[in-house]
């Protein structure tokens, strides 16, 4: 070792050799290993999600007065980034009425196969119903469609009653969704939104349920439909249904989402808004005119909300 160090001191060329060996081991040779495992034409490079990822555009709003609404409970947010653009009392307790059925649909889509066929063994007549008949055979998909478009309480009942633990088990599943996503101001006691003091939510929590719902293409496709025909599996019974969403086909930016009303809750509406290819979610609750309030929010957004590409 002493002789080696003496030679190294007397001959600087040794330093160059050691440096080259270290360089090859640390940088050049590992590169060959990489290309042997992932050749240049491999799908690792072409299809890498990291490489293809595009950061969402950032949403901005002008510093302008809030729109004048009938509701004191509302929110508007960017669906992609979850950025709250506009709100008033977003976390205050409200009664969700039939906007509950968005959570009912999510639960059903989560636990049942779409093509599963149910047989109607009990009629349900509370509130708005599609008049399902005893003995009628109908798919889960048809019931979810009727639930979302027509807000059919008997469709909600049938879906809930089909749970292996009955209605109670289904409602527990609804509450598990709220718990999983941290919706601390939401608690469900039923599947159709009929008034109950312990059945409540907030406009912020409803907006988060909406963000979950629109990730499912069954929901986004269905809630766009103004008219819907639902048939039993034998195609001997037809239910002609019209959407409860009065803004569909009237306000071009509206592509859904769910209505609600009871005397105790007032009017509620969750809106899915397409603004120049960017999606917003609006929620109004305890409103005397839920659709007028939503139109005012849309008009405000068209004048005040804009997006800019992400700049790292």
The average pLDDT across 36-42 equals: 43
User: Which residue in this structure is represented by tokens 């709250």?
Assistant: 84
* Nearest of 258, 171, 248, 182 to residue 213 by alpha carbon: 258
Between 41 and 194, residue with greater pLDDT: 194
Q: What is the pLDDT of residue 21?
A: 62
Tens-digit pLDDT profile for residues 123-145: 999 999 999 999 999 999 999 99
pLDDT at 44: 40
**Residue 289 half-sphere exposure, CB side, CA atoms within 13 Å?**
8
Q: How confident is the model at residue 188 (pLDDT cuts 50, 70, 90)?
A: very high
Tell me: the pLDDT tens digits for 111-123? 999 999 999 999 9
Quick one: average pLDDT of 18-46?
Answer: 48
Residue 65 burial (C-beta neighbours within 10 Å; 0-12, 13-18, 19+): exposed
How far, in Å, CA of 282 to CA of 293, rounded? Answer: 10
Higher-confidence residue of 6 and 182: namely 182
Residue 48: pLDDT over 60: no
C-beta separation of 214 from 220 below 8 A: yes
The structural domains of the chain, with segments of one domain joined by +, span 2-51, 58-308
If pLDDT is split at 50, 70 and 90, which confidence band does 307 have? confident
Mean pLDDT of all residues in 254-282:
97
pLDDT at position 18: 62
Q: Count CB-CB contacts under 10 A for residue 273.
A: 24
- What lies within 8 Å, CB to CB, of 222 at 6+ separation is 144, 145, 148, 149, 228
What is the residue-averaged pLDDT of the chain? 88
Look-up: residue for tokens 């807000």? 151
Please give the share of the chain, as a percent, with pLDDT higher than 70. Answer: 81
Burial class (CB within 10 angstroms; exposed 0-12, middle 13-18, buried 19+) of 26: exposed
pLDDT score recorded for residue 6: 55
Which residue would you say has higher pLDDT here, 179 or 19? 179
pLDDT at 38: 40
Cα–Cα distance measured from residue 90 to residue 113, given in angstroms and rounded to the nearest whole number: 34
Across the range 203-229, mean pLDDT stands at 97
Query: Domain 58-308 has what CATH class?
Result: alpha beta
> Which residues lie below 8 Å from residue 260, measured CB to CB, with a gap of 6+?
96, 97, 98, 99, 100, 101, 151, 193, 267, 268, 269
pLDDT average, residue stretch 288-294: 98
Asked whether residue 37 carries a pLDDT value surpassing 70, the answer given is no
Q: Other C-beta atoms within 10 Å of 276: how many?
A: 9
Taking the alpha carbons at both ends of the chain, their separation in whole angstroms is: 52
- Return the structure tokens found at 74: 């509302």
């Amino acid at each position: 070792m002493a002789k080696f160090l003496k030679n190294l001191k007397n001959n600087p060329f040794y330093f160059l050799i050691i440096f080259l060996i270290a360089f090859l081991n640390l940088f050049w040779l590992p590169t060959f290993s990489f290309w042997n495992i992932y050749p240049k034409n491999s799908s690792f490079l072409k299809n890498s999600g990291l490489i293809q990822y595009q950061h969402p555009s950032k949403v901005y709003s002008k510093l302008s007065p809030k729109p004048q609404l009938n509701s004191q409970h509302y929110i508007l947010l960017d669906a992609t980034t979850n950025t709250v653009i506009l709100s008033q009392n977003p976390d205050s307790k409200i009664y969700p009425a039939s906007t509950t059925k968005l959570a009912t649909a999510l639960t059903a889509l989560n636990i049942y196969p779409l093509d599963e066929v149910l047989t109607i063994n009990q009629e349900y007549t509370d509130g708005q119903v599609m008049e399902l008949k005893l003995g009628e055979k109908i798919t889960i998909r048809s019931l979810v469609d009727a639930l979302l478009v027509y807000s059919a309480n008997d469709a909600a009942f049938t879906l809930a009653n089909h749970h292996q633990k009955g209605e109670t088990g289904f409602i527990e599943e609804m509450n598990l969704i709220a718990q999983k996503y941290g919706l601390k101001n939401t608690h469900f006691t039923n599947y159709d939104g009929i008034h109950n003091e312990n059945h409540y939510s907030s406009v912020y929590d409803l907006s988060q349920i909406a963000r979950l719902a629109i990730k499912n293409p069954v929901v986004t496709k269905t809630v766009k439909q103004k008219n819907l025909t639902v048939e039993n599996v034998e195609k001997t019974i037809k239910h002609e249904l019209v959407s409860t969403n009065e803004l569909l086909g009237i306000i071009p930016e509206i592509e859904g989402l769910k209505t609600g009303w009871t005397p105790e809750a007032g009017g509620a509406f969750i809106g899915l808004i397409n603004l120049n290819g960017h999606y917003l979610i609006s929620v109004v609750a305890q409103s005397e005119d839920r659709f007028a309030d939503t139109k005012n929010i849309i008009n405000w957004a068209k004048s005040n909300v804009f997006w800019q590409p992400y700049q790292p």
